[in-house]
Amino acid sequence: MAKSFISGAKGEKPRSDLRVKYTPSKKPLSISVKSTVDTFFGEAIKQQTQAVCKDLKVSSGSIEIEDFGALPFVIAARIEAAIKQAHPDIQLESLPPMKNYCISTSSRDRFRRSRLYLPGNQSKLMLNAGIHKPDAIILDLEDAVSPSEKEDTRYVVRNALRSLDFFGAERMVRINQGDLGLKDLEFIVPHNVHLILIPKVESAKEIKIIDERIADISKKCGRKTPVFLMPIIESGRGVLKALEIAEASLNIVALAIGLEDYTADLGVPRTDKGGESFFARSMIVNAARAARIQAIDTVYSDVGNEEGLRESIKEAKALGFDGKGCIHPRQIKPIHEEFAPSLEQIEKAKKVTLAFDEAEKKGIGVVSLGSKMIDPPVVKRALQTINLAIASNLLNPDWKN
């Protein structure tokens, strides 16, 4: 009997996903579609399947689709994945059109207070993720995806990067470790990923290899904008090498810590008080400051416990972190609220900013407030506070008027 290749959703009744079974043969291409939205999109799914096969120049074999209301970008990804399992030599791709809103750019210093992790194979969670306004959305290819699904998931993530509106959130992907991660890059660098999270980094060398590969792919696909990097430190060795890692590439904009793996590496339980990770977190913050990049704290995994989350954010902020990971949209608001500057800080920052404007206008190099001279770092910090206050909806962007 002919061997079949299956890509797609597991489980009895997945939502917004599909299963594709491709059986190569010499017979002309045959397509069968079963769908929960058959009445409305049965014909469209068939046509799309034909289009994907045409893109990949596949004209034989049978494709059986079992659809549960998946969107077109997911359907295309699953079909391509199944076909390429059978024919790994096919170099052609079937790319959905790149949407205008996917062409946005990012910047080094933008806020990264909240970054929402989404499993790369769960497209239904991605569709509306942006409406919750996290600073960043991470499509995860690593720990959230089981080894057997890693290959297939790349197609979903690639197509999502080309199709979905993240409503201004920074477009991030967490790649796998090692060679798997290098392969991941081919699926994301040409599709305007803004930032790549690199897991379990322990040396500058790992960063350099990835950076070079990104440069190669960028050159090939004509990408001009930089791909920012955020190494995640998750081991004792990584912590001790934090500065070296932070300075390994100019594309690094932030350093993050992952405490699940770190505490496992130490062989200690992860506690709420976090005494076991105090040293590591301080190291990350100090290395980040030394390299003039952002320091990002680990995720808080108890989704239902808002109080615990807020405590954890307060602590992270006090240690010097600029942001925190989240695994559920409901964590975003508390993170933004806790990272917001106090009203007192805002008032002070406003005064400093106005004094700075005044000095600029007069062409004076020295900023002073009353009889007090203000150092440049204080000015810089005040400007940051103002930006953060605006981002936190505590200050009208037009406040000077």
Partner 1 sequence: MTKVKMKKNAIDRMVPTMVNGVKQTPFQGVGKFKPKGNKAVLPIRSCSDFPADGNKTVKSLKEALQKCGLKDGMTISSHHHFRNGDLVMNQIFDIAAKQDVKGLRWFPSAAFHCHKPVIEHIKNGVVDWVEGSLNGPLGDLASRGKMNGTAILRSHGGRWQAVQDGEVHIDIAVIAAPTADAFGNATGDRGPSACGLLGFGLVDSMYADKVIVVTDNLVPFPCVPWQIQGQNVDYVVVLDKVGEPEKIISGTTKLTKSPDRLYIAELTAKFVQAAGIIKDGFSFQAGAGGTALAFAIFLKEMMKDAGVKARFIRGGSTKYLVEMLEEGLTDFILDGQTFDLEGVRSMRENHGHVNTSPFTSYNWHGKGNFASMLDAVVLGATEVDINFNANVVTHSDGKMLHGIGGWQNCLFSKCTILPIPAFRNRIPVIIDEVTTLVGPGELVDVIVTERGIAINPLRKDLIKATKDSGLPIRKIEEIKAEIDDLIGGQPEKPKLTDEVIGIVKWVDGTVIDSIYKIED
As measured in angstroms, the least distance from the Cβ of 131 to partner 1 is: 5
As measured in angstroms, the least distance from the Cβ of 341 to partner 1 is: 20
Q: Tell me which DSSP letter residue 95 carries.
A: P
Amino acid at 283: M
Amino acid at 339: F
As measured in angstroms, the least distance from the Cβ of 52 to partner 1 is: 13
Cβ–Cβ < 8 Å for 262, 277: yes
As measured in angstroms, the least distance from the Cβ of 329 to partner 1 is: 4
Q: Tell me which DSSP letter residue 320 carries.
A: T
As measured in angstroms, the least distance from the Cβ of 99 to partner 1 is: 8
Q: Give the whole-angstrom CA distance, residue 25 versus residue 142.
A: 34
Name the residue nearer to partner 1 (CB basis): 55 or 165. Answer: 165
Name the residue nearer to partner 1 (CB basis): 118 or 157. Answer: 118
As measured in angstroms, the least distance from the Cβ of 84 to partner 1 is: 22
What residues have CB less than 8 Å from 246, skipping those under 6 apart? 231, 252, 255, 287, 288, 290, 291, 293
Name the residue nearer to partner 1 (CB basis): 42 or 236. Answer: 42
Name the residue nearer to partner 1 (CB basis): 12 or 179. Answer: 12
Which uninterrupted H or E stretch holds 22?
strand 18-28
As measured in angstroms, the least distance from the Cβ of 157 to partner 1 is: 17
What residues have CB less than 8 Å from 41, skipping those under 6 apart? 35, 67
**C-alpha closest to that of 21 among 7, 33, 41:** 7
Question: Phi, psi (5° rounding) for residue 374?
Answer: -115, 130
Question: Phi, psi (5° rounding) for residue 359?
Answer: -65, -40
The sheet carrying 60-67 orders its strands as 5-8, 18-28, 60-67, 30-35
**Interface positions with partner 1 (CB under 8 A):** 15-16, 36-37, 39-44, 48, 68-72, 99, 127-128, 131-132, 163-165, 328-330
As measured in angstroms, the least distance from the Cβ of 69 to partner 1 is: 3
Cβ–Cβ < 8 Å for 275, 269: no
Three-state SS at 117: strand
Cβ–Cβ < 8 Å for 76, 96: yes
Name the residue nearer to partner 1 (CB basis): 76 or 207. Answer: 76
As measured in angstroms, the least distance from the Cβ of 40 to partner 1 is: 3
Q: Give the whole-angstrom CA distance, residue 196 versus residue 188.
A: 9
As measured in angstroms, the least distance from the Cβ of 104 to partner 1 is: 16
Name the residue nearer to partner 1 (CB basis): 43 or 109. Answer: 43
Q: Say how far residue 25 (Cα) sits from the centre of its chain.
A: 39
Q: Give the whole-angstrom CA distance, residue 191 versus residue 159.
A: 9
**C-alpha closest to that of 330 among 305, 352, 297, 353:** 305
Name the residue nearer to partner 1 (CB basis): 31 or 180. Answer: 31
Name the residue nearer to partner 1 (CB basis): 65 or 198. Answer: 65
Name the residue nearer to partner 1 (CB basis): 17 or 322. Answer: 17
Q: Where are the beta strands (DSSP E) in 184-343?
A: 195-198, 228-233, 254-257, 294-299, 323-326
**C-alpha closest to that of 143 among 169, 171, 181:** 181
Name the residue nearer to partner 1 (CB basis): 134 or 181. Answer: 134
